[in-house]
Amino acid sequence: MRQKRKRNNHFMYFISLALVIIVFLFTTIDEARAQKLFVPSILIVGQSKDVNESEKIAQEVGAKAKEAIEKYIYDPKGKRDPFKQFVDSGAKDKKKLVPLQKYEVSQLKLTGIIWGANINKAMVEDPIGKGYVIKRGTRIGKNDGKVKKITKDRVIITEKYRDYLGKIKSREVSLKLYHSEKGETQ
């Protein structure tokens, strides 16, 4: 009983698949005839009339295609260059990047601030644990950031980014001083 049901299921699957293929073929043939495209006909003995009609249609389509190709002239005005990158990657050379530009600002940890008579400096730590001394104007972060200001408890960084319209804008990001004895930022 179970094998018979399984056989019936396979039979129904085959029939439905065949119907889908037949419907697809008939709709594509009707669309092709409506658009006067070349549809190769099956050669059966005694049907030379269909072959001649299909050859005429093929010649008409070929002539129309040739005419359309000769009339078309490409005008690049107002179109983007297809060989340019769609998204501007910043085009930074890896050799020119300082080590702090390989990380996002959020990945860096501010571990110390040094107050001097003329210049304030700070120390940041990368995810690996290597420390770097920074001062005002130091390039930092992947988004072309620069240290704008160093205060008693934080470093303020100006980063560039693209908004949803593609315009370049800047924003300020701050790194707060990390206190190791408390294990948190202040």
Q: List, for residues 42-51, the tens digit of each pLDDT value.
A: 444 444 455 5
pLDDT at 80: 81
State which fold the 94-185 domain adopts: SH3 type barrels. (2.30.30)
Nearest to 145 by CA among 123, 178, 112, 171: 171
Report d(CA 90, CA 105) in Å as an integer: 17
Band of pLDDT at residue 159, cut at 50, 70 and 90: very high
Spell out the domain ranges in the chain.
2-71, 94-185
In this predicted structure, what is the pLDDT of residue 43? 44
Lowest mean pLDDT among 10-19, 40-49, 64-73: 40-49
d(CA 100, CA 122): 13
At 61 the three-state DSSP class reads: helix
pLDDT at 163: 84
CA dist., res. 160 & res. 20, Å (int): 55
- Residue 32 has a pLDDT of 56
Q: Which pLDDT belongs to residue 139?
A: 93
Work out the number of other CB atoms within 10 angstroms of the CB of residue 86. 6
User: What's the confidence (pLDDT) of residue 42?
Assistant: 45
How confident is the prediction for the chain on average, in pLDDT? 77
pLDDT > 90 fraction of the chain, expressed in percent and rounded? 25
Tell me the two tokens of residue 17: 């698949």
The H or E element that residue 174 is part of is strand 168-176
Token pair recorded at residue 90: 């910043």
* Tokens at 101, concatenated: 């530009």
Average pLDDT over residues 136-149: 92
